[in-house]
Structure 1
Amino acid sequence: MFQSQAILGRMAGTKNPEQIDDHVWPADGLDCIPDWVYTSDAIYEREVERIFHGRTWNYVALEVEVPNVGDYKRSYVGPTPVVVSRAEDGSIHVFENRCAHRGAEFCRNARGNNKEFVCPYHQWSYDLKGNLQGIPFKRGVNKAGGMPKDFRNENHGLKQLAVTTRNGVVFASFCHDMEPLEDYLTPEILKDFDVVFNGRKLHLHGYYKNEVPANWKMYHENLKDPYHATLLHSFLVVFGLMVAGNESAMIADSKYGIHGTMASAKKEDKYAKVSDDTKKEMRSFHEGMKLQDERFLEYIKEFDSPWSVTMQTIWPNLIVQREMNTLGVRHIVPNGPNSFVMMWTMFGYEDDTEEMTRHRLRQGNLMGPSGFLGLEDNEALRFTQEGISKSTTEQSVIKLDAGNVGTADSLISEAAIRAMYRHYREVMDL
């Protein structure tokens, strides 16, 4: 865990002599990734401008977190602090957590309920939609000082973002002429998104938060890389959640190539049955490994889906996890080129039985920063960032399943990573 204020305080905008023009993508095109994509301050600043503040829908909250009038939640769009607020008419609004007067971050609590937002510095006050409603000493004192006569409150509200929702999930964008969310996500991604967010009311189970000392894009790569899942994670392999040879897929959206669903179908057996040839390829497979509590392996089929495990990446900042019966979302908050913060929200459904709630909480130990899976991913990304930052080599190779860009039927593929960087290069002009 960490002190979130200290970590999230290191925002984008650090200037140095480096220029975008210094960076030229290698001639190998989509078969390699240059190291400066992960380490360059200039690249990171353009990512904030063109991706997080550009033509994207960014996850900011679940509606269940702001169910009542006056409820609010602090959130982020890229590195930019925002507030998600439920107004008197029931509508949801998202605005920058920056006072229009002197720039103070006025909302200090993670969640709460307010009738208004008041900046602690000079007490400028805003309504639940982010409109300026009051200024102390607006007309001065004894006819001296104060705002000019032509000052209008309606011209000095908080910077407001476009907002859309789908089945209880709230997205925001700095771009006010964004395409509908359904078009942005595409049918391929909506198919599994709507399996989890199917209209049933959600019930919050809790939160995790951790910092990962790696570039934010690496987490997208990690979940578009089913290859690593069959090798790094002993738990997935030994207990049959994701094994080479199982029915599986890496599904990329066909419109942009930036969203993806890594999916696998667990067989009925509690433990994986792996051929001798496959065992030789997977050092993470440990013969005879057992669980003291085998309830971790119980999969209660509750969804109309062929998959028991799905991990969705929704560009640029959301992961939707469904690992058997444990459910959650992960919110990526970039923190410069060499770090990002991961904000986890675990949930179930309001109509879950007490037994199902306990089952989801139990299986929740699979996930989280110190879970059976998350810890290994975080360490692997840290090792990768360290290697890239300190070595003399200038690029990484992504040639698995060469020639394929996008969806792959095999786990031994990097096709979805190539699709992501094809779009990334277009947006970034690289």
Structure 2
Amino acid sequence: MDQQEQVSTTLAGAVRERISASLAPVDAELARRYPGEPATRQPVHTVYVPAEAYTAGTVRSWGERALAALDEHAPDAGAFGAVLGLPEELAGAVYPRVRAKLEREPVEDLRIDFEDGYGGGGGAAEDAHAARAARLVAEAYETGSATPYTGIRAKCLEAAVRERGIRTVDIFLSGLMAAGGLPSGLVLTLPKVTYPEQVAAFAELLAAFETGHGLTPGRIGFEIQIETSQAILGADGTATVARMIGAAGGRATGLHYGTFDYSAGLGVAAAHQASDHPAADHAKAVMQVAAAGTGVRVSDGSTHVLPVGSTERVHEAWRLHYGLTRRALARAYYQGWDMHPGQLPTRYAAVFAFYREGFAAAAARLAAYVGGTGGDVLDEPATARALSGYLLRGIECGALDATEVTGATGLDRAGLDRLAARTRG
């Protein structure tokens, strides 16, 4: 038996108590501002559909049109893999999963658009479109045909369109309540935010709605769309986006990068407005740091190069979209925008390839960490959280099967959740 070491201390208990008391406000602030990763699924994309064009068949139509594009321009795994430069084995694993996804769940997050994409007019027409959107969304949830996440993007809170934006939100939410209540996957998007006060005002609007309907305070969350330079760097030199998260009062669920408005605001020429422009990288990096640990998720923007026309042009657009999506995933932007059904095949191809390519290595590292067997990489708890989060995202989007992850790691879903330290529902 080892000789027992004599332990001595110098600091009195009162010192520790004073330090703990002095840091209690900081402890509370850390817990409030940085609750950690939510326990909810993050969609891999958001699809925007003009409100006047949205119908009960929109989602199914997007899936059918995406499948038709595959049938016409890449009818098998070999052809699809050749377009995207995928190894034969990876293409063979990805292609059937893409087709199955398009048949089963072509859209993960749907936004009915009353802002830039809306061409239905204002006044009574917009009132009618907002009421119809509420009815169709409620019916979709009732029949089980709704996308996992659904909501609207109304106009912003700038003076010129403020009343219209507030009215559209009110009509939509009131319609949902009249149809039976707010669905669990409800998402609202606040566009063109410049000042934290606009975020606070939107939070106040939602709080008033909750009070009017006897809803739990904080029930309605929203995404903040980052489309102006002032949202990244304020006139006082601070990162405005970080202040916006605080101004939301716990309601902020996401930060969405607006590729074209932001680029245009910085004077970037139209031909160079893209999500991989240095200006875009800077904005998203600031968003990412501001959101880290807060439970607020970051989404990339979109590309306006659509896969339409000849097979050659479709393939060119597919390669661009696939490359931008893979680039975003490597930078931990796990969500983006899709603006056309033809982009769905490459969205899912990029996401599935990302997780399937890294699956074996991630699972082996996590299994070694959990089993304490070591290996050729010395991982710390923070890396174990990242590995678990990676595998969970792969399961949730359909790239990985829960059974194969459990077989490779020895961890079930609950075990992965614990290691990933997901803390909020």
Q: Fold-level match, TM-score > 0.5?
A: no
Of Structure 1 and Structure 2, which has the larger fraction of its residues in strand? 1
Task: Tell me the TM-score normalized by structure 1.
Answer: 0.27
Of Structure 1 and Structure 2, which has the larger fraction of its residues in helix? 2
